């Protein structure tokens, strides 16, 4: 009887260990394990999006890549979800004047993103979460999301949009400084990178260039123009990163990851978006029969 108990215990232990060892980083999965991962993730995948661009004189070009993927990885550790590798085909035309910027054409970034989603869906994922680390993608992703309605899709796309926890922001500022601009490579982003990749952060250089808003379009009220970012922050540095630190960065990271975990859990349970999409596409095929 003891031998039977021991055998059962070994089997259970082996099952638990194997379940825990199933990687969630997509590039680490074998083909057979990929099948298990799709099921374990409830057919949910995270696509972390960043870009290669200048981040002031003190942060690495891949800052947005580091942050987006780290948020995804930390969340996946808490709520199993498959995480796609670094994705850098992003909108960054506003930084083409700065060294190290990799700015693909609008046509290419659209096509690559759409085909990536199509391939993820073809490989079993029904819910895809975009975690965006680059502010320059915001308008692009909004339009791209709406354009998903242009034809029937066999997946649902969700874009993670965290909000600031004012208490966390206050604590982070107490550990560092108040940054009146805090747009790009400023106090918060520099603190996050100090926590994630400190060896690539050079705070001693943060004061070498100005991150102050130049406000060069103040003579044009109620106007939008594509040159707006360059008009404000030509150094591609918006903020003050001189006093950033890792402790503040961890507070900010944890706040974002907590929100992302809750989002993943909600997306896995979500039945409304897929149902609404199906209804919408069905009605779109014959709008004259749509109930008025």
| Mean pLDDT lowest among 14-28, 104-118, 212-226, 272-286 | 14-28
Query: What would the mean pLDDT of 139-168 be, rounded to a whole number?
Result: 97
Query: 211 near 56, Cβ under 8 Å?
Result: yes
Query: 236 near 54, Cβ under 8 Å?
Result: yes
Percent of the chain past pLDDT 70, that is, above it, reads: 93
User: What single-letter DSSP state applies at residue 93?
Assistant: G
Q: pLDDT value at position 11?
A: 45
Query: What average pLDDT is seen over the chain?
Result: 94
Q: pLDDT value at position 20?
A: 59
SS3 sequence of 242-253: CCCCHHHHHHHH
Q: For 49-67, write each residue's pLDDT tens digit.
A: 999 999 999 999 999 999 9
Nearest to 185 by CA among 77, 95, 105: 95
Q: Which two tokens stand for residue 280?
A: 């919408």
H/E segment holding residue 144? helix 138-147
Q: pLDDT value at position 17?
A: 45
Q: Which residues of 166-192 are buried (b: 16+ CB within 10 A; e: fewer)?
A: eebbebbbebbbebebbbbbbbbbbbb
Nearest to 74 by CA among 260, 226, 218: 260
């Amino acid at each position: 009887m003891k031998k039977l108990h021991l055998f059962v215990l070994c089997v259970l232990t082996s099952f638990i260990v194997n379940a825990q060892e199933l990687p969630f980083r997509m590039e680490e999965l074998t083909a057979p394990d990929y099948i298990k991962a799709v099921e374990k993730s409830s057919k949910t995948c995270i696509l972390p999006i960043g870009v290669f661009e200048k981040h002031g004189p003190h942060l690495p070009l891949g800052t947005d890549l580091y942050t987006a993927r780290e948020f995804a990885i930390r969340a996946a550790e808490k709520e199993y979800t498959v995480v796609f590798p670094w994705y850098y085909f992003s909108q960054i035309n506003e930084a083409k004047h700065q060294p190290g910027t990799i700015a693909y054409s609008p046509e290419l970034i659209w096509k690559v993103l759409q085909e990536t989603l199509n391939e993820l869906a073809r490989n079993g994922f029904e819910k895809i979460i975009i975690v965006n680390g680059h502010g320059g993608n915001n308008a692009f992703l909004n339009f791209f999301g709406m354009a998903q309605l242009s034809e029937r899709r066999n997946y649902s796309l969700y874009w993670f949009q965290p909000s600031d926890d004012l208490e966390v922001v206050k604590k982070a500022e107490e550990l560092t400084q108040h940054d009146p601009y805090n747009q790009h490579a400023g106090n918060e982003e520099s603190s996050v990178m100090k926590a994630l990749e400190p060896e690539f952060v050079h705070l001693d250089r943060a004061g070498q260039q100005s991150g102050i808003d130049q406000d060069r379009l103040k003579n044009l009220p109620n106007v939008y123009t594509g040159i707006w970012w360059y008009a404000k922050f030509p150094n591609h540095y918006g903020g003050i990163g001189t006093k950033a630190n890792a402790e503040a960065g961890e507070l900010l990271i944890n706040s974002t990851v907590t929100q992302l975990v809750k989002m993943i859990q909600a997306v896995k349970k979500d039945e409304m978006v897929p149902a609404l999409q199906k209804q919408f596409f069905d009605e779109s095929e014959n709008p004259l029969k749509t109930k008025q």
